[in-house]
Structure 1
Amino acid sequence: MTIKASVGNSVYAAADHVAISASIGSDAFVVGQTIVIDAAIGGDLRGAATEIEVNASVAGDMQYAGEDITLNGPVAGTVAVSAEHLTFGPNARIDGDLILYGTSSANIEIPTHVISPDRVIYRTSSQLVDQEFVKPVGEHMGTMGLGIFYELLVAVVLTSLIVIIAKNFTSSAYARAWQSVLASIGYGFLGLSLLSGSVIVTALTFIGIPMSLLLVVVTIVVVLLGYWMGSYFIGARIWLAARGKLPSSLVAVLLAVTLGVMCAALMTSVPILGWWLAMALTLFGVGAISPWRGRRVNS
């Protein structure tokens, strides 16, 4: 994940690799394997990572837990870190206190240009449960978790409405989806390729620019529908295996959709493979609801 455009408010990011190359107006909470901060943070910087490199200024406090942490920028507030290796660059400066957690913190070399020795505080790992470290990080984790919950809730509600309103269509799409999974993915790839190609072709002409914008919106809607319907097809398949019939009542549909959305969320959260699984799920759903797929199957 790379943030290349300036953000006026706070940023909550989680990925295998996160790079911030544009300024953040307020707080930043970033979790990942490797994190690189190359632009100014307007508030606090918090999170956890295996490796983190901060090459820009932080206007507030900095709290991080990781293995290798490199600080090469000024921090206006207090820095609280738990790390096996902490390295300071030539541009590093800490205006507040430096709080180091863990037994290995005593072996960290701290240059005098970074902070005066009297403002360095050493604490044990058991003192991590402290107001200046765990509590703020926990608050940001709660905010991010609430955002994920709302996203899942929207997916469940909208998918359930589609299944209930277009019951016959979704039943036919379900049958097409599992008739041949590879064919569904193939038709989904074909459909999205045609849509995205149409966007490029229509954008080449001045007259076609408004049409290309409309096609962009249509493509986004189709991608969302494909992902949501693919999730439902998985949930309905599990429901069929457990109950012996497809969900028909309102409650059954809601439960099947919720099950499918949760399974999709777990699948796509797998490191590295998650992105590919999300793409396959989207193509699977798009291929099942494609109109030409229906004509092909019926013929």
Structure 2
Amino acid sequence: MRFLSRIVAVLTMSLAAACPGVAQEEGRAQFGGDRYLAGTNIEATEDTDRDLFMMGETVSVEAPVAGSAHLMGRRLSVEAALGGNLYTMSYALDLNAPVSGSVSATGAELRLNDEITGNLRASGWEIRLDGPVAGSALLAGGQITLDAAIAGDVVIATDDLRFGDDASVGGTLTIYAEDPESVTVPDSVAPASRVEILQGDSYDDTHGSAWPIAEPPSFASRVGSFLTGVLIVTGLAVALAALMPDRLAELRARSVEHPGQSLWSGFLGLSTLVGAGFVASLTIVGIILMPAAILLAVLAMLVGYVLGVYVLGGAIWNALGRAAPTDLFSKALMALSGAVLAALIGLIPFLGWLFALALGLVGVGAMVRSWKLRRQIGY
């Protein structure tokens, strides 16, 4: 379990190290009440009417957000109240303001110092909870310190669990540890009747498994998941269109110009990246590069898929006889059409997965070909 926690820390540090290279110039955009910010050191100093999206090396939320906040960077700081949920991926996170929704966070160092009205889901190397949680909490990390009240059920996976004077659990406390006998829970936290301490990676005959088995999703939940996925992909495409319109237009042109070459270049680029990580892992020093290479490959595929969806939307746009969009709203409609079609095709067994893979590889290939061309012309 400690090894897995270190892997989480390595992955998040690798991601944070990659962020400055992604956003060297500051970019700011607004669309539909949402605010998009990217740069090296960025601060959100104006109120956000809906959702906030930020990515950079150091990221700070200094003004209230009416909706949810999506933050990615090396060091994150939330200093103003959030009206919705908080989603973060970073090396370090300092939460110093209340969150009206739930919190989902992963990083090496997480310090949650203010009230969380919803549920808490956190994973990292070191997690410290000093603010109360009105819902339930799911925590996994190398070292976890609880010094606040959690009203609902709590599930913790760690080898180093510490309780402060203000720690308490209102529901059931379930702890997974490699050495269950070494874990002691004070009565002030929760009475023994509401505490269960289990072996970390074992299965229990009574419970069936260490983690609850979810019921099959209903039709309504499937439709909701489908629409949520479409909106997320569309939102990412719109963010790219707002923050880097010229570069996105260039990548789209590369994809449309020679889709076969882009597909092949994407395959070679990802193979090179993962292969280099594997070769480096053969040395002791290079072992940490393997998860970093895998993470970068996953991120590249994510960006490539978003780009592929944008290109697919452009194909639909052209088939309808429309000129290339110039305003952000038209670009959003184009991205939405591509996201819907890609999601519908993705529902086809086996073929849908291959189609999604091809879209991602085409997008990655476009980035590789654009990078090669810029190097050739010295741009």
* Structure 1 length-normalised TM: 0.52
Give distance in 1, aligned partners of 2:212 and 2:120. 17
Deviation at 1:115, TM superposition (A): 2.1
Give distance in 2, aligned partners of 1:114 and 1:154. 42
Deviation at 1:86, TM superposition (A): 0.6
User: Counterpart of 1:47?
Assistant: 122
Q: Give CA-to-partner distance per residue, 1:40-73, whole Å, 9 cap, x none.
A: 0112111322221101101111111222111111
1:153 aligns with 2:234: yes
Deviation at 1:104, TM superposition (A): 2.2
**Structure label with greater radius of gyration:** 1
User: Counterpart of 1:129?
Assistant: 211
- Asked if structure 1 preserves the Cα contact closer than 8 Å seen for 2:87 and 2:105, the reply is yes
Give distance in 1, aligned partners of 2:143 and 2:210. 18
Gaps spanning 5+ residues in structure 1: where?
136-142, 160-219, 268-280, 289-296
**1:60 is matched with which residue: 120, 123, 135?**
135
- Asked if structure 1 preserves the Cα contact closer than 8 Å seen for 2:95 and 2:113, the reply is yes
Deviation at 1:149, TM superposition (A): 5.5
1:263 aligns with 2:364: yes
Q: Give CA-to-partner distance per residue, 1:126-176, whole Å, 9 cap, x none.
A: 3332159x99xxxxxxx99976763433555x69xxxxxxxxxxxxxxxxx
- Asked if structure 2 preserves the Cα contact closer than 8 Å seen for 1:28 and 1:41, the reply is yes
Give distance in 1, aligned partners of 2:194 and 2:185. 11
User: Counterpart of 1:69?
Assistant: 144
**Residues 70 and 131 (structure 1), Cα distance of their counterparts in 2 relative to 1, 3 Å cut:** farther
Q: As a proportion of its length, which structure holds more helix?
A: 1
Number of positions where the alignment pairs a residue of Structure 1 with one of Structure 2: 199
Give distance in 2, aligned partners of 1:241 and 1:46. 42
Deviation at 1:239, TM superposition (A): 4.1
Alignment of 1:242-257 (within 5 A): 250=315
Deviation at 1:76, TM superposition (A): 1.2
Question: CA RMSD, aligned part only?
Answer: 4.6
Alignment of 1:106-185 (within 5 A): 106-124=181-199, 125=201, 126=203, 127-130=209-212, 150-154=231-235
SS in 2 for 1:63: strand
User: Counterpart of 1:8?
Assistant: 83
Quote the sequence identity (%).
18
